[in-house]
Structure 1
Amino acid sequence: MSARPLNEQQARECKTEQRSYLWGFLLALVLTLIPFALVAFTEIERLTLWITIGVCALAQVVVHLRFFMHITLARNKREDLLLILFTVLILVILCGGTLWILFDLYQRMLPGMMP
């Protein structure tokens, strides 16, 4: 099996794509290590910790969409954006429904212990 050599434009595109993946990996790694370091090595308020973890999680979602899935807000990528919005809608329905059922069961099983 012989590999054909890449022309100059293909080699440039390959290098650009590799650089994009490397930046995405580094950003995702930093956005993962920040919450772990805050939990393990600092004593900050719970609310500040939760907000920091949430912000890092949202930033990591954006990093994954941009660098790994190559989804941008360009006009020609409208189908990708609609697919992502539909996925978010399904996730919200699933998580919201799960929480609704769990809290309803909790209220029915232990009505005297509700906060």
Structure 2
Amino acid sequence: MQHTASTQGPDLRAYLTGLVLALILTAIPFALVYFKLLSTGPTVAAIVIAAIVQVLVHLRFFLHIDFRRTPKENLLTLFFACFLIMVMVGGSLWIMIDLHYRMAL
């Protein structure tokens, strides 16, 4: 009995590609900060871009979410999770900035 690639699901090559991309996207911000290759503004921008690309790599290669073929319910769940994360991060930043302002008085 032979198994074909279509019945086995995602192949090892896709997982290894995702792993290599994730490692590279992790190493880039660490190298930028450790070796001080850029000033503060471009370093922060590079870290944010690498983080966004890494989220997309994880969604595609590890969670197997393809925006063309993924059911609508999965996409709605993903967007709701993103919304909740933005609310939590935004609220935390709001509280920390407010506390910093009040402590500086």
In which range does the TM-score fall when normalised by the shorter chain?
A: 0.7 to 0.9
- Secondary structure (helix, strand or coil) at the match of 2:71 reads helix
Say yes or no: does 1:21 pair with 2:15: yes
Q: TM-score of the superposition, structure 1-length normalised?
A: 0.79
**Structure 1 runs of 4+ with >3 Å offset:** 13-16
Listed as ranges, the gaps of 5+ residues in structure 2 are none
Q: CA deviation at 1:32?
A: 0.6
- Secondary structure (helix, strand or coil) at the match of 1:7 reads coil
Say yes or no: does 1:91 pair with 2:85: yes
Look up the equivalent residue of 2:2 and give its one-letter code: N
Q: Could you say which structure has the greater relative contact order, defined with CA pairs below 8 angstroms and 6 or more residues apart? A: 2
Say yes or no: does 1:53 pair with 2:47: yes
Distance 1:88 1:76, change over 3 A: closer
The count of corresponding residues between Structure 1 and Structure 2 is 104
State which structure, 1 or 2, has the greater radius of gyration over its C-alpha atoms: 1
Distance 1:30 1:105, change over 3 A: same
1:8 to 3, 6, 15: 3
> Percent identity, aligned pairs only?
40
Look up the equivalent residue of 2:23 and give its one-letter code: L
> What's 2:26 paired with?
32
Aligned equivalents of 1:77 and 1:61: distance in 2? 19
Q: CA deviation at 1:38?
A: 1.7
Say yes or no: does 1:104 pair with 2:90: no
> What's 1:66 paired with?
60
Q: TM-score of the superposition, structure 2-length normalised?
A: 0.85
Distance 1:7 1:55, change over 3 A: same
Segment drifting more, 58-67 vs 68-77: 68-77
